[in-house]
Amino acid sequence: MKYCFLIYLSFCFIQCSIFSPQSKLSNKSIFGIYDLYLHFGSKAAGPPSDKIFIEYLNKFENQYQIKVDKIDKIGPLGREGEYDLGIVLNSWNETQKRQFIDGVKKIVWNKVETNSTGYVQISENIKMADLDDYKKARISTYE
């Protein structure tokens, strides 16, 4: 009985620590809701590189002295290596989020779409539970 009580208390402690409002990431990222969602698709020769996006992200983080909360790389999704990036921006204010997302849209249009055989689709506030195609995909934290 004593062991059952200890197990119950440890379970309660773990649950409270995961879902506490003081955690660095809100419940948004735990449940798979991304502020920005990029799909890197292919037109027969493989998807475009995310190098341009990562360079822009690093420049933006340095300029505003902020960090992205989390980036998940989802994939591979197809035969040609298609993948997605789910980005959580909980610690950013609304102005920073809007500036960043608008900047991502510009670099995708100017640099990726015109110089690549692949494409990038941009979505905002996406729930992973709503995306049926990705239930079997591998999800890893982007580094």
- Domain tally, the chain: 1
Output the pLDDT for position 94.
94
Run means of pLDDT, 10 residues per run, the chain, 143 residues:
57 48 42 84 86 93 93 87 91 95 89 71 85 69 70
- Whether residue 12 is contained in a domain is answered as no
Query: Any idea what the CATH number is for the domain that residue 82 is in?
Result: 3.30.70
Q: Which pTM was predicted? A: 0.72
> Within a domain: residue 5?
no
Return the H-helix or E-strand segment holding 100. helix 94-107
Q: What is the length of the chain?
A: 143
SS3 35: strand
Domain span including residue 59: 23-141
Q: Rounded to 10 degrees, what is the CA torsion of 13, 14, 15, 16?
A: 50
d(CA 124, CA 50): 18
Report the pLDDT value the prediction gives residue 112, as an integer from 0 to 100: 65
Q: Do the domain assignments include residue 7?
A: no
Place of tokens 């955690």: 23
Is 83 in a helix, a strand, or coil? Answer: strand
- The DSSP call for residue 49 is P
